[in-house]
A = this chain, B = another copy of it.
Amino acid sequence: MSYKLKEIADEINGILFGPPEFEVSGINTPNLAKNTDICIVFEPKFLSIAEKGDAGAIILKEGLTTFKPYMSVKNPRAIMPKLLKLFEEKKKYKGIHMTAIIGENCTIPKSCYIGPYVVIGDNARLGERVVVMAGVKIGDNVTIGDDSIIGYNVIIDSYSIIGKRVKIQAGSVIGKEGFGFQKDGNHYIRIPHLGNIIIEDDVEIGANCVIDRATLGSTIVKRGTKIDSLVIVAHNVKIGEDVAIAGQTGIAGSVEIGNRCMFGGQVGVADHIKVGDETVAMAQTGVIGDIPPKSVISGTPARPHKEWLKAQATLLRLPDLIKRFKKGNGETDNS
């Protein structure tokens, strides 16, 4: 792949200062870019690195200039998806590998790719251009929409419904029985899980996640939501649209999360909690009660982030404060 600077400027809506016909064949960071590469400078302080380096061309925020060929854009971060997509290797995955084992009564269009050692149960319905990487196992009666990509060794259990343009990364387990038991004396009796999981369009799920099907009805992850790796979404959970959930977060059973929430890594949400729209939960937050919309929370138990920050700061000053108060209180300091 190689592009003329004017082609790139057109694609990212940039104003070009430099030779329009100059060609670059790659993109890299300011320190690593070669003279055939273009690079992006996110912060003014990194411009000198790009200038000292070999980069053949530079993308800059409006207002900055350089002696090298460059193009100006309003927001260098915002153009990243488009720019990097230009240079992305697009491997053509197509055809059904001869080692794939496919059940009865499946609909798999010719535009799909089914990789080696994939196992698919009965009655699967795949949309156009679905990519199923090597080693994936899919149960019975699963639906997958157009243009979805199922990563290596992913498991999708029976009756799961996966939307369009969904990406599930390697090793994730989708639609298995949840952690549901009924106590009988000292023993636990398994509760069968008759529900399923619905993953709507444009959702992305990271690697080695575990997303359980519902006991009855459906576990739902709504349109546009992005989930990082090693996340648990337990049975009967509903996650809204355009939510972002960072790695190692755990959402317990029957939780409802509103639209456009953002969760940091290692957050925990206890079962049956409702989290309102546009809530931001900082990393490691432990949510044990309902959260109103537009909250910004942190700590365990979760509280407003500012309050938590203040409490943590106070806590650190406590030993000293106590000393002072004891003195004022006429106590001797032998605590």
Contact = CB atoms under 8 A, between A and B. Distances in A.
Given A115-B119, A230-B232, A250-B247, A153 B135 contact: yes
A111 interface: no
Contacts of A184: 78
B226 A229 contact: no
Nearest to A135: B137
A268 interface: yes
B319 A321 contact: no
Contacts of A242: 186-188
A190 B217 CA distance: 31
Contact of A216 (B32, B157, B173, B299): B32
A64 interface: no
A88 interface: yes
A119 to B, nearest CB: 4
A115 B101 CA distance: 11
Contact of A248 (B173, B189, B204, B248): B248
Contacts of A329: 324-325, 328-329
A135 to B, nearest CB: 6
Contacts of A316: 303, 307, 311
Interface in A86-129: 87-89, 91, 99, 101, 115-117, 119
Nearest to A243: B188
A177 B169 contact: yes
Nearest to A121: B91
B250 A85 contact: no
What are the nearest 4 A-B pairs in CB distance?
A: A328-B329, A210-B229, A84-B192, A173-B207
